[in-house]
Amino acid sequence: MSASVKVLGISGSLRRNSYNTAALRAAQELAPSDMRIEMADLSAIPLYNQDEQDRQVPESVARLTAQVQAADAILFATPEYNYSVPGVLKNAIDWVSRAKPQPFAGKPAAVMGASPGALGTGRAQYHLRQIGVFLDLHFLNKPEIMIASAHERFDAQGKLTHESTREYLGKLLLALQDWTHFLQRGKSA
């Protein structure tokens, strides 16, 4: 039997009715029985300022950094703003990446995204993967989850109702679990 996997879900949206946050809630619902997905909250993280970091790291940043450190894997859900990741997500990553040791380094990660548009956040996901190279995140390559026409795939309460998307999300979670175990075995070898 494999060990339980602790995943930190990070939504790049602050919107109350965010499709990306709803996708993370769907992931919590669909997670394998030995996977736990905790949600990060980026709403209180200030804009990155090295002067502020040098004085004292804000509590909201310290909390997110501790969550990243404690997680076995990261699951990002990113909207796409102007062909890229939202500033709120990039800002949170910039803050956390300043911690020593850098808490993203070596972590397994997966990315998904939901958008009312036709491309389902594909460009933002690829930009996040580029950012992950510098962070030494180990992104899962497949399956890719790009939820297009999100307004048709979630109901008014934010529940993911589109069956094939739910199925793909379940496959992503199983692949992330396997990827996490694979990387953990490599570290212990």
Distance between CA atoms of residues 189 and 183, nearest Å: 10
Helix (H, G, I), strand (E, B) or coil at 49: coil
Name all contacts of 169-172 with Cβ < 8 Å and 24+ positions apart.
169/23, 169/26, 169/27, 169/30, 169/112, 169/145, 170/30, 171/143, 172/27, 172/110, 172/112, 172/140, 172/143, 172/145
Torsion angle in degrees (nearest 10) through CA of 160, 163, 168, 174: 80
Query: Could you tell me the pLDDT band of residue 187, with boundaries at 50, 70 and 90?
Result: confident
Query: Could you tell me the pLDDT band of residue 2, with boundaries at 50, 70 and 90?
Result: low
Q: What's the pLDDT tens digit per position in 9-47? A: 999 999 999 999 999 999 999 999 999 999 999 999 999
Instruction: Name the burial class of residue 137, with classes exposed (0-12), middle (13-18) and buried (19+) by CB atoms within 10 angstroms of its CB.
Output: buried
Distance between CA atoms of residues 145 and 136, nearest Å: 21
Distance between CA atoms of residues 25 and 135, nearest Å: 26
Q: CA of 167: how far to CAs of 37, 119, 125, 161, in Å?
A: 18, 19, 20, 11
pTM above 0.75, yes or no: yes
Distance between CA atoms of residues 115 and 18, nearest Å: 9
pLDDT computed for residue 118 by the predictor: 87
Q: What's the pLDDT tens digit per position in 69-104? A: 999 999 999 999 999 999 999 999 999 999 999 999
Task: Please report the domains of the chain, with CATH numbers, ordered by start residue.
Answer: 5-188 (3.40.50.360)
Query: Could you tell me the pLDDT band of residue 189, with boundaries at 50, 70 and 90?
Result: low
